[in-house]
Amino acid sequence: MKTEKPDRQFVNQLSPLVLAFVGDSVFDLFIRSRLVMKKKESAHRMHVKAINYVKASAQSKIVSILHDKLNEDEKIIFRRGRNSKSATVPKNADVLDYRRATAFEAVLGYLYLLGMYGRLEEILNMAAEIIEQEGEELDGKKE
């Protein structure tokens, strides 16, 4: 499901919230596909697990670890996304987490729209591994 590759100037002129709009879907589809490939579970259980990856607090944690691995162009998009003024903030999300999640999604949308699929996949895999490692740590503490 790859789209026609727009030029860099067009993508750079898009609002960070538009980039995040695309990035949100990219991340959600990636996580859902990853969960389907990992285990045979009910759609409901996979949906519940997916929430642990895509919620604002999880994305904020991802960014706190991945930010230093972003290149300069990605950091510029990240800053634009973080500083953009959203009309609303979900009631169950901290404002800082929500801004960082928006910034992360803007980077994903940016990479997707530019057709930089290799770099996008690299960041998506690192992001998923961060949440999965945290889940394993939490499971270890429960025992």
CA distance 49 to 68: 27
Annotated active-site residue 24? The verdict is yes
CA distance 136 to 67: 22
24, 94, 97, 139: the catalytic one is 24
Q: Write the CB contacts of 101 (distance below 8 Å, at least 6 apart in sequence).
A: 55, 56, 59, 60, 63, 93
Q: CA of 45: how far to CAs of 48, 50, 139, in Å? A: 5, 9, 17
Token pair in block for residue 40: 């045979």
Instruction: Please give the single-letter amino acid code of residue 47.
Output: H
Residues designated as active site: 24
